Amino acid sequence: MNPTAATVWKFLVPNPKSCYKQLFIKGTRIRARVLYGMFMSSEEPMTPAEIAADLDLPLDAVNEAIAYCQSEPSEIAEDFEREERLMEASGMNEARAKFKIVPPEEVSRILKS
């Protein structure tokens, strides 16, 4: 499979209820990037078959999620950037820092950017 921006995914869909823009496994709250992380783990990598069995998903759905992530879609990078900005705003990026409460309007601004 050679994914492109025009790829029609069988098992992957956006989740309009999530602040994440990346695709999810249809009918679940599982982001494709989570499955890819399990596959690419440096500590305990799992095969697509193991992931499918562990999460009770079709093997084709896992393979599709991996292909999607390997295509480096811009929405995954954008999701990471938003998470980094939120972590920075809350002090989570600072060693031994006390976490700050981020006002709801700031969280909303970060998640919408």
Please report the pLDDT score of residue 90 as a whole number: 78
Degrees (nearest 5) of the Cα angle 94, 95, 100? 45
Please give the model's pTM, rounded to 2 decimal places. 0.76
* Residue 102 to residues 59, 80, 88, Cα–Cα distance (Å): 40, 18, 10
Domain borders along the chain are 12-72, 75-112
Q: Residues 12, 23: contact at Cβ < 8 Å?
A: yes
Please report the pLDDT score of residue 93 as a whole number: 67
Nearest to 24 by CA among 49, 39, 15: 15
**Which two tokens mark 21?**
């823009």
Q: For residues 63 and 51, give the distance between their C-alpha atoms in angstroms, rounded to a whole number.
A: 10
Q: Residues 110, 103: contact at Cβ < 8 Å?
A: no
Please report the pLDDT score of residue 53 as a whole number: 98
Mean pLDDT of residues grouped by 10 in the chain (113 residues)? 68 93 96 96 95 98 97 93 83 67 72 70
